[in-house]
Amino acid sequence: MSRVHDALRRSGSGTPDFQSQPKAQSLISRGLDSKTLISAPEFENLLDRIEEVPFNPSPDAHLIDASRPHEAPSEEFRTLRTRLNHLQSLQPIHTVVVSSPSPAEGKSMAAVNLALAESHLAGNHTVLCDFDFRRPLVHNLFQIDRSPGLTDYLLDKATIEQIVKKVAGTNLSIIPAGEAVINPLELLNLDKVRVLMANLKKSFNWVILDTPPLLFAADANLLSTMADGTLIVVRLGVTTVDSITRAIQSLCENNVLGTIVNGARRGELYSKYTHYHTYYYSKPD
């Protein structure tokens, strides 16, 4: 059973402790002018032009169910959703990277269930982007085709409306990873990625990015510089303090929104996770 812990540090106080910077300004510094970011015709009325696919999750996907909102882990992700939405009312946060220090810590499941929880709110259009080009899972969880997807779009093999799929009966859209590539990091360095990130926020209230683990590839570190915040997923009894330390230090910006603890039973979280919790708060600014 998953359980959300310290999802957004100090969000209740109204003083989030990450450095926010205008993303448009950072993109302009990379050579993209504001006109390019604002006037991207291919993104206009995007929601009206995308294909709809049935909600047909894999039987072993363990996705949260909107019809049973009080069952764990649904309730835990609703708590995370509430805190994120509160923080969004205080800061311009729309794009969130979900990653983990190492593989097998549950970051893809956390990204998917967070996106689903957000999409359960009326009018809260959410898009889940599978930026884990090395080991994509989102298309399997929803039983849709992997391609066309993000890599196809970045390589000019598909248009934006061809890669976005709206899940029937929900406010959730999915962008799968796309065809396999041998140079994922080089692909993520394209200016087209930054334009994509900037313009998805115009169609969706939340843009959730599933990325490779922080300590095994630089992909998530790069994507975090384009996003408004990062959530780090850890697994109780598996993730070490050293891994968390190095993962946070690897981020190029201090925009860690919080942590999601996976694999905890109800009632045991605070007793067994105290050593992580203490360190997380005591890290130097």
Q: Is residue 150 a part of any domain in this protein? A: yes
Residue 241 lies in a domain: no
Query: H helices of 91-190, where?
Result: 107-119, 138-142, 150-154, 160-163, 184-188
Instruction: State how far the Cα of 194 lies from the Cα of 180, in Å rounded to an integer.
Output: 20
How far apart are the C-alpha atoms of 87 and 206, rounded to whole Å?
12
Residue 148 to residues 34, 128, 206, Cα–Cα distance (Å): 29, 15, 22
**Domain-embedded: residue 274:** no
User: What is residue 42's predicted lDDT score, i.e. its pLDDT?
Assistant: 87
Q: What is the mean pLDDT of the chain?
A: 81
- pLDDT exceeds cutoff 60 at 38: no
Instruction: Domain of residue 197: give its range.
Output: 22-230
> Does residue 32 fall inside a structural domain?
yes
Residue 9 has pLDDT above 60, yes or no: no
**pLDDT tens string 80-119:** 999 999 999 998 999 999 999 999 888 999 999 999 999 9
Q: Is the peptide bond before 213 cis (omega within 30 degrees of 0)?
A: no
Q: Return the pLDDT at 283.
A: 38
Q: How confident is the model at residue 36 (pLDDT cuts 50, 70, 90)?
A: very low
- CATH code at position 220: 3.40.50.300
Q: What is the pLDDT of residue 71?
A: 66
Predicted confidence at residue 20, as pLDDT, reads: 39
Q: How many domains does the chain fold into?
A: 1
Share of the chain above pLDDT 70, in %: 75
pLDDT digits (tens, 9 = 90+) for 137-196: 999 999 999 999 999 999 999 999 999 999 998 999 999 999 999 999 999 999 999 999
Does residue 284 sit within a domain?
no
Instruction: State the pLDDT confidence band at 27, using cuts at 50, 70 and 90.
Output: very low
**Averaged pLDDT for residues 27-48:** 62
What confidence category does residue 231 fall into, taking pLDDT thresholds of 50, 70 and 90?
very high
- Predicted confidence at residue 59, as pLDDT, reads 86
> Is residue 239 assigned to a domain?
no
Query: Does some domain include residue 256?
Result: no
How confident is the model over 22-30, as a mean pLDDT?
Answer: 40
